[in-house]
Chains A and B, each alone.
Chain A
Amino acid sequence: MNLLSKIMKQREISIVVLIVVFIAIVGMVNSKFVTGKSLLLLVESAIILLILAVGQSFVLLTREIDVSVGATMGLSAAVCGLLLTSGVSGWVSALAVLAVGVLAGLFNGLGVAYLRIPAIIMTLGTLGILRGFMIILTGGKWIEDIPNYFKKLSGTDFIGLPLPVWIGLVILVAAYLVLRLTKFGRYFYAVGDNADGARLIGIPVSKVRVLAFVLSGLSASVAGLIFVINIGFVPNQTGSGMELQVIAAAVLGGVSLNGGLGTVLGAGLGAIFLTAINSSLIYLKIPAYWNNAISGFLLLVIVISDSRFQSFLANSQFKKKETAEAEGGGQGDEATL
């Protein structure tokens, strides 16, 4: 019981256990799923969601929410495609795309932190604006003819892992280290846990919030770039519906919407778990249309049982404390006697 509660408290460990158990079960049904090749494919297809989830975590940690990431990703992919097809070099296009993400995040952040617009409304508005911009830019057409050298980046291996996976890993590790080890990283937790308290001890709360949104926008534009590299063309609906999947991934990984709780590692693992559910269906010979029903059901079960367990834990700790105090009081009485 003690070990179990320790595991449940460490959300990253419990999600890893969950992923391993899940993969083992699918592997028992169909051994093809546990080969190195298909597991690598799983990680590869999780990378976009993983990067978005890392960016979103910064926003969630400060107790805000960003539902515009799907649209930012779509716009970034469209800008990238348009620049590349008009002959701009890869590096310049990539920089321009990152600028798109930063600007989108800045817009959100300034609205939320300085104009005090509730984050869900602000980013809902941005979602509409950016999605519309994307359609206006592309004229509603798909962008094809992405230059080959850019598409080939997806196949570029480096110590056995393709480039997009490396980008994802570097972002994940960098974000984890910044949040974990630097003083500045802890600001995000402080703001989300208690904004007024954070302000009183001299943390620039508004600036931290703006930065969180900028990082989320930036991650969305990186996701857009990787989308272009991986897929090789940009459909109209690129990134639509992504925002809700990202939030689901982060929540699965233990990042709380109430702020101040969770790690990017958890969010990344949540993204991998969500993708694992989706890609396992083929190996289980379940038709693809079961996808949403299963992910939704699992999300609910995990979140509800986690909440039940946490409140059980809080209760039992409370009781323990109470009984300890009562016993302590009793002993004190004896001593005076």
Chain B
Amino acid sequence: MKLLFRWEGALVIFLILELIFFGLMNPDFLNLTNLIFSMNDYVYIGLAAIPMTYVIITGGIDVSVGSTIGLTSIIIGVLWMNGLNVWLAVLIALLISACAGAVNGTVVATTNVQPLVVTLGTMFLFSGIALVISGGSSASGYEGISGFPDAFVQLANGETFGLPNPILFFFGIMIFFAVMLNLTRFGRQVFLVGINPKSARYSGIRVKSIIIWSYIIAGLGGGVSGLILTSYFSSARSDLGTEAVLPVITAVVLGGTSITGGKGTVVGTGIASIVIGMMQYGLQMMSMTSQETSVVIGFLLIIAVLLRLTNWGLLKKFHTKKAAVKEP
């Protein structure tokens, strides 16, 4: 636990260094209002990444989350366009995103197909369904559905207590999921399933149901992310989130969650998504395009994992190997 806290500490220190660096390069960067409002542009990554942490801790992965974002968005749009109350449309869309997660979880838990393959299939399936819905309702994929009522648009564009709503959402969700992961029985069971599913089953944990619930949470995360994006752009499109998969997984891994499961924190994921977002924002202020920034983010991911491995992973392994050699 101590080590994990140190990783989050390292992330915070890195975030501060990042702010100082970009501040030196361009004093405009440190303008507090700009800095806070820039978070609006990438908060959706964190919203999807935080629940995804659960899935990765159980030893799985969900690459269908980008499709879930698009599916939620287009369902909100189409239902609203057909005369449904917009909030009812939101509720139904979120339920469907949870169902999408349940499909993933059920297949992963009840067959021995690898999670990557399952969610790869549902990634095509969900994005396909989203396209069919948008194509069938003659809202072409790239124009999208717009003209939402003001109250809905204000959801992601409004402010409460002087802070933009999406950021409040982000911190609210981060705290909720952090508490659930660390302080509830369900959270402990998620870890146990990730560390060793067999011993978890023998100690009476309902492994299948834990896995299914983790995927439901991840699907719902994609749904909330899609909701916020739809409101932020005030346009519903089936292709929202297609590029989100990789940054979302990057945020989870950079946040210190082990891709092989059993280890991870929600707060780490949250901080990591801010680190990535700030990095993009800062580099863009240094006149890099958002696609060019992916060079830096790619290196960041590799180096971060390397640092983690060299600090404890390899050293520990080396020691245990030595001990193992000595013992016999």
Contact = CB atoms under 8 A, between A and B. Distances in A.
Closest 5 CB pairs of A and B: A293-B128, A296-B124, A128-B298, A132-B295, A292-B128
Main secondary structure of the interface of A (DSSP, over half): helix
B127 interface: yes
B289 interface: yes
Contacts, number: 143
Contacts of A284: none
Nearest to B249: A124
A131 B291 contact: yes
Nearest to A292: B128
Given A132-B292, A140-B289, 20 more contacts: A111-B302, A117-B302, A117-B305, A117-B306, A124-B250, A125-B305, A126-B298, A128-B301, A132-B295, A135-B292, A136-B292, A241-B242, A244-B63, A248-B121, A248-B124, A257-B116, A293-B132, A296-B128, A297-B125, A308-B111
B157 interface: no
Interface stretch (A40-48, A90-98, A298-306): A298-306
A247 interface: yes
Contact of A289 (B126, B141, B293, B298): B141
Interface string B278-315: 00000000000101111111111110011001000110
A307 interface: yes
Best-buried of B120, B249, B293 by chain A (most CB within 10 Å):
B120
B309 A116 contact: yes
Nearest to B310: A115
A244 B242 CA distance: 12
Given A115-B309, A311-B112, A135 B291 contact: yes
Interface in B229-285: 242, 246, 249-250, 253, 259-260
A294 interface: yes
Contacts of B250: 124, 128
Interface size class of B (residues with CB under 8 A): 35 or more
A120 interface: yes
Interface of A: 65, 111, 115-118, 120-122, 124-133, 135-136, 140, 236, 241, 244, 247-248, 251, 257-258, 287, 289-297, 299-300, 303-304, 307-308, 311
A307 B298 contact: no
26 contacts: A118-B260, A124-B249, A125-B298, A125-B302, A128-B250, A128-B301, A129-B298, A129-B299, A131-B294, A132-B293, A132-B298, A135-B292, A247-B117, A247-B120, A248-B121, A251-B117, A251-B120, A257-B114, A257-B117, A290-B132, A291-B131, A293-B124, A294-B128, A297-B128, A299-B121, A307-B113
A303 B121 contact: yes
The prevalent SS among residues of B at the interface is helix
Nearest to A306: B113
A127 B313 contact: no
Interface of B: 61, 63, 107, 111-114, 116-118, 120-129, 131-132, 134-135, 141, 242, 246, 249-250, 253, 259-260, 289, 291-302, 305-306, 309, 313-314
Contacts of B297: 128
A244 B123 CA distance: 9
Nearest to A121: B305
Contacts of A116: 309, 313-314
A296 B302 contact: no
A304 B107 contact: yes
A72 to B, nearest CB: 13
A258 B114 contact: yes
A127 B246 contact: yes
A124 B123 contact: no
A84 B31 CA distance: 46
Nearest to B309: A116
Nearest to B125: A296
Contacts of A115: 306, 309
A78 to B, nearest CB: 12
A291 B128 contact: yes
B291 A293 contact: no
Nearest to B299: A129
A269 to B, nearest CB: 17
Contacts of B63: 244
Nearest to B242: A241
B112 A293 contact: no
A121 B132 contact: no
B74 to A, nearest CB: 11
A54 B134 CA distance: 35
Contact of B294 (A118, A129, A297, A307): A129
Contacts of A133: 295
A126 B242 CA distance: 19
Contacts of B125: 292-293, 296-297, 300
